[in-house]
Amino acid sequence: MFRRGRAFTLAELLTVLAIIAVLAGLLFPVLSTVKNAAIKTQCLSNMRQAFAATVMYTSDYDDYYMPVNHRPGAPPNPILDRTWVQLVLPYAKSFSIFTCPGDWGVRDDFDTVFDGDLQPGDIYARYYMASMHVNMGYNYLYLSPIVLRADSGQWVSQPRPTTAIGDPSKTLLFVDSVWDREADGTPFGGGSWLVVPPCRYQLRDRRRTDTFDESDLPVYAPSMGWDVDNPFSGHIYGNAWPWHSGRVNLIRVDGSAKSAPISDLSAGCTVEEGWGGLVKDSGNYLWDLN
């Protein structure tokens, strides 16, 4: 005799669904944490590759860091204009290492943009626009500042030698960055190839001194310090940005990379508009060369 199997009752079905919902609620945060950790690890790996490319570049250029734009020894000529990213790109695995996989903002496809300085046979020239929107912000104001010379009235790039760095294990090389943000705080435009520090001056023997180059010359910068009065600005942290759950990935000039809270970028200084604050503790300040 055929006997029908016993069906689930409504109560049993609801119980199973409730158990599944509870398990999903427990697993989703874990999976999200694992995914974020993998993204952070990939970003740190990219920074280490960019560091290796930087080391090879400095080895070929008498141990001097990359200028922000122009090739060493070349006059400011639009045809020769190259960003620091383009200068180290031949030593890198690919252009993709300069982008952070944690950047969820909207960005344009700059790889397809025709650049005015594109030259036949130069495969790196096409990255000119894209290279300014990478997520690896360069600590250039200490490593390779562009200053306005009082004697000539011209902007001059002044790459520093690696030997000028007093403590390589402390000084920042690259950090996660953002281009800008919408009025509601949404990131857009990718990253920024340049980042600026929160402080510029410090007191030495009761005298205010310039930590950039001690000459107090005007410097080229995307912003004059951090935009502390506008929480939705891309300049709130000098274009550095915590893509990883409130933390930034950074790498120092000795190659040591880590994930850190965004507050570490302002450690040792009092942040004020227009670089009005002072470096109080150079031992904890990540940006300068001492």
pLDDT at site 253: 96
- The more confidently predicted of residues 74 and 108 is 108
Q: pLDDT tier at 37 (50, 70, 90 boundaries)?
A: confident
Mean pLDDT value across residues 48-63: 96
Asked if residue 140 has pLDDT above 80, the reply is yes
pLDDT at site 285: 95
- The more confidently predicted of residues 39 and 241 is 241
- The more confidently predicted of residues 273 and 148 is 273
Closest of 33, 9, 47 to residue 177, by C-alpha: 47
Task: Give the DSSP H or E segment for 210.
Answer: strand 207-210
Q: pLDDT tier at 23 (50, 70, 90 boundaries)?
A: confident
List Cβ<8 Å contacts ≥24 apart for 274-283: 274/224, 274/225, 275/198, 275/199, 275/200, 275/201, 275/224, 275/225, 276/225, 277/198, 277/199, 278/199, 278/201, 278/202, 278/203, 278/208, 279/199, 279/201, 279/202, 279/211, 280/202, 282/202, 283/170
pLDDT at site 214: 63
Mean pLDDT estimate for the chain? 85
- CA separation for the pair 288, 204 (Å, rounded): 15
Q: Name the least confident of 126-130, 160-164, 181-185.
A: 126-130
Q: Positive or negative, the Cα torsion across 265, 169, 177, 164?
A: positive
Mean pLDDT value across residues 237-250: 95
- CA separation for the pair 83, 107 (Å, rounded): 19
pLDDT at site 165: 93
- CA separation for the pair 197, 252 (Å, rounded): 14
pLDDT at site 213: 76
Q: pLDDT tier at 208 (50, 70, 90 boundaries)?
A: confident
% of the chain with per-residue pLDDT over 70:
83
Asked if residue 66 has pLDDT above 90, the reply is yes
pLDDT at site 142: 95
pLDDT at site 72: 44
Residue 235: half-sphere exposure toward Cβ, Cα within 13 Å: 15
Parse the chain into domains and list their residue ranges: 11-275
Asked if residue 191 has pLDDT above 70, the reply is yes
Residue type, 272: E
Mean pLDDT value across residues 240-256: 95
CA torsion 238-243-248-250 (nearest 10°) is -90
Rounded to the nearest 5°, which phi and psi values hold at 67? -70, 155
